[in-house]
Structure 1
Amino acid sequence: MIDIHCHILPGVDDGPVTTEESLLMAREAVKEGIKTIIATPHHRNNKYENKKVDILKNVDKLNRLLRKENIPLEILPGQENRIFGEILEDYQKGEILTLTNSNFLFIEFPTASVPRYAERLLYDIQTEGLTPIIVHPERNKELLENPSILYNLVNNGALTQVTAASVVGYFGKSIKKFAYQLIEHNLTHFVASDAHNTINRTFKLNEAFDIIEKDFGTDYVYLFAENSENVITNNIIIKEIPYQIKRKKFLGVF
């Protein structure tokens, strides 16, 4: 199993603080059947900055430690970029890291909103030859209230990644329901852990895939698993035609 979104590097963001905590996460990942993790520390989210060169060094350091501890897990480099207007300029300067140096780039929206410039920026990213992957859209307040925004972004070429814990229900009923709707309407292409620790933000991938298999069928499990593999090999992502999520309108009594 491959996890394309995980905060496993120690001491760089709100993930593990120490190398011991990173090793605990690594052992937990192996128990889940995960063999490869893309480390995706936060970048430019108003609290943490993790530039490409630093991430590469930290990934190499953690991989050496995992080999020393005989933990059968490979860490690959990535970055979770909070959306900002100069991201392509920073990419040209060598500060922005795609997932495993592929053509896929993580983009995170603020929790409560989608910037007005998002549609244009995601288009510009694609003209650069990159494919933006919007992370955990099911946890964004504006998208939850107005899913047509996400439909338009996906219809115009962006991809999305849902968090396993959202599918399980860890973030509440409304977010779980929205995650289900994204799967049903072909508005998401990956399921990943976004794990931060082994206590309250752990992997939940096996549990999520069991639920997806039960409620949506085995084909969806294969699709999400193969797409994660395609990120690492920089291949074409499997996509189905997206559909709008219809929000019910409530009429008052006159």
Structure 2
Amino acid sequence: MIDTHSHLLPGLDHGCPDIETSVRMARAAAEAGVRTVACTPHFLVWDQALIERAGVVIDEVREALTAAGVEVTLRLGFEVDLTVAASVDIESLGRLAIEGSGGAIVIEVPYSGWLPVMEETIFRLSAAGLTPVLAHPERNDRIQKSSDLLVRCLRAGAVAQGTGGSLSGMFGRVTEKTFFKLIEEGHISLIASDAHSVMTEGWTMGPMLTALEGRVPPEDLVTLTETNPALLLKGERPQPVGPYDGGVSWRGKARLPKRR
């Protein structure tokens, strides 16, 4: 698998506290079947020093992983606040894209509320050749009521990336149900960990697969966790799985849906 959203780098945000924890997180990811991790610390305001520091830190973690025998490839990126994406010039924003992806930039979807500038920003980035990746849209209270806002963003050029922990109920029943609904409607292209610690890595990658097994076709599970992330990192636009008829069961007995 390829994890396109993780807070594995130490000391850059509220995620991983130290390199020792980074190694443990990477080892847990490898044991779950992850081979590549995009390290995406929060980028809340324009901070040149953070960009430079992140480049140093990821090299330090790479050295630590090699020494520990952990075979996981790391790529640097950032989880960008919408206000930054809306106000910073395109050339500068390109520096925040996932390393080697040709312009895939992770944009944090807020947990509550909605800024009208979202669609306009996505269109601007997409028109400039960047690929806006919307992180955890299933957690947004407006999208939980209606997926229309997300659909408009996808039409403007974004791709949707859900968080594995949402599938296992770690963010509540409403978020869990919303995630399955977005998959059912054919809006989700990627699933990532958004791991902030060893504990969260444990309940996002392995349980994520368990939560989806029998609920989406096996080939679509591969698409969400392997094929589409690989396309994104090669600079190609991934397509969502689904939509499905009959619904994607999110509680009770698993059942495979039929594609429309």
Give the TM-score range, shorter chain.
0.7 to 0.9
* Structure 1 residues without counterparts, runs of 5 or longer: 244-254
With over 3 angstroms needed to count, the CA separation of the structure-2 counterparts of 1:85 and 1:34, relative to structure 1, is closer
Equivalent in the alignment of 2:251: none
Superposed counterparts of 1:33-52, under 5 Å: 33-44=33-44, 51-52=50-51
Q: Partners of 2:15 and 2:33 in 1: how far apart?
A: 21
TM norm structure 1: 0.87
Equivalent in the alignment of 1:76: 75
Q: Partners of 1:86 and 1:6 in 2: how far apart?
A: 19
Superposed counterparts of 1:154-165, under 5 Å: 154-165=154-165
Equivalent in the alignment of 1:24: 24
Q: Partners of 1:125 and 1:152 in 2: how far apart?
A: 15
* Structure 2 residues without counterparts, runs of 5 or longer: 245-260
Equivalent in the alignment of 1:226: 227
Asked whether the equivalents of residues 183 and 243 of structure 2 are also in contact (C-alpha less than 8 Å), the reply is no
Give the AA of the match of 2:118. A
Asked whether the equivalents of residues 78 and 98 of structure 1 are also in contact (C-alpha less than 8 Å), the reply is yes
Q: Partners of 1:90 and 1:52 in 2: how far apart?
A: 16
Q: Partners of 2:144 and 2:193 in 1: how far apart?
A: 20
How far does residue 85 in structure 1 lie from its aligned partner after superposition?
A: 5.4
Deviation readout 1:31-68 (Å, 9 max, x if unpaired): 1111111100000169x987433322221121011112
The alignment partner of 1:27 has SS state of: helix
Question: After alignment, is 159-168 or 105-114 more displaced?
Answer: 105-114
Asked whether the equivalents of residues 113 and 143 of structure 1 are also in contact (C-alpha less than 8 Å), the reply is no
Q: Partners of 2:239 and 2:109 in 1: how far apart?
A: 23
- Residue 135 (structure 1) aligned with residue 129 (structure 2): no
With over 3 angstroms needed to count, the CA separation of the structure-2 counterparts of 1:93 and 1:174, relative to structure 1, is closer
Identity %: 26
Equivalent in the alignment of 1:195: 195
Aligned residues: 242
Q: Partners of 1:96 and 1:146 in 2: how far apart?
A: 33
Q: Partners of 2:84 and 2:199 in 1: how far apart?
A: 35
Equivalent in the alignment of 1:114: 114
RMSD: 2.4
How far does residue 201 in structure 1 lie from its aligned partner after superposition?
A: 5.7
With over 3 angstroms needed to count, the CA separation of the structure-2 counterparts of 1:115 and 1:235, relative to structure 1, is same
Equivalent in the alignment of 1:205: 205
How far does residue 242 in structure 1 lie from its aligned partner after superposition?
A: 6.8
The alignment partner of 2:129 has SS state of: coil
Give the AA of the match of 2:32. E
Question: After alignment, is 128-137 or 94-103 more displaced?
Answer: 94-103
Give the AA of the match of 1:171. F
How far does residue 147 in structure 1 lie from its aligned partner after superposition?
A: 1.9
Question: After alignment, is 78-87 or 219-228 more displaced?
Answer: 78-87
Deviation readout 1:64-111 (Å, 9 max, x if unpaired): 111122211111111100101555635424684111242211111222
Deviation readout 1:103-160 (Å, 9 max, x if unpaired): 2111112221221111111111111111111100001112212321111111332111
